[in-house]
Amino acid sequence: MPKYPVDIGTEAVPSTIQASATANASIIGFTAFIHATNNLLMPFPSRQIQLRRNRVKQKAQSCMTETEKRLRAEIATLKQELATLKQEKAELQNKAVEALWQSEEVLRHQMQEMQIEIDLNKVARQVAQITKTDYFQQLQTEVEGLRNSPSS
């Protein structure tokens, strides 16, 4: 047996336990058992690595959920902006169509006025052609003669 006491936690147990002190040995054995189980519960380096990995995973997941929440909120905001822009676009298109109809109506009205003016010019030319003919001049002279002659 070793010459020095064995360290089993916080208590030092002499390596030579006499048989007469079995009660003492059982208490020391129980204490040693508890300390041994506590040491088993203490993380080993691989256990520490696993715990660190778990903490890193949890932190990454929490960061991902925060990022996901932030991105979802940004997406919702962008969807609202898109809906607003679509509505504004529809309103602008309606205004453009209405303005187009109004301008077409104005152009139709102007075109009718121009056609009337063209027709009046055409009639004036035709009248001028008729009044310049010798036959019309002769008829006009006869009408004036009839108007100036005394009634019989």
Check pLDDT > 90 for residue 74. yes
- Residues 34 and 42: their CA atoms lie apart, in Å, by 12
Structure token digits, residue 97? 């169509």
Q: Taking the complete model, does pTM exceed 0.75, yes or no?
A: no
Q: How confident is the model at residue 149 (pLDDT cuts 50, 70, 90)?
A: confident
Structure token digits, residue 76? 């919702």
Measured in degrees and rounded to the nearest 5, phi and psi for residue 151 equal: -70, 135
pLDDT at 107: 93
Structure token digits, residue 87? 């509505």
Q: Are 6 and 32 in contact (CB under 8 A)?
A: no
The greatest distance separating any two alpha carbons of the chain, rounded to the nearest whole angstrom, comes to: 184
Place of tokens 């979802």: 72
Q: How do residues 82-133 score in pLDDT, each as one tens digit? A: 999 999 999 999 999 999 999 999 999 999 988 888 888 888 899 999 999 9
Q: How confident is the model at residue 26 (pLDDT cuts 50, 70, 90)?
A: low
- Residues 149 and 133: their CA atoms lie apart, in Å, by 25
Check pLDDT > 90 for residue 76. yes
Three-state SS for 13?
strand
DSSP for 119-149, please give it.
HHHHHHHHHHHHHTSHHHHHHHHHHHHHHHS
From residue 32, alpha-carbon distances to 8, 17, 38 in Å are: 6, 14, 10
Q: What is the DSSP letter of 6?
A: E
pLDDT at 96: 95
Greater model confidence, 36 or 9: 36
Q: Are 43 and 51 in contact (CB under 8 A)?
A: yes
Q: How do residues 32-57 score in pLDDT, each as one tens digit? A: 666 666 655 555 567 788 888 888 88
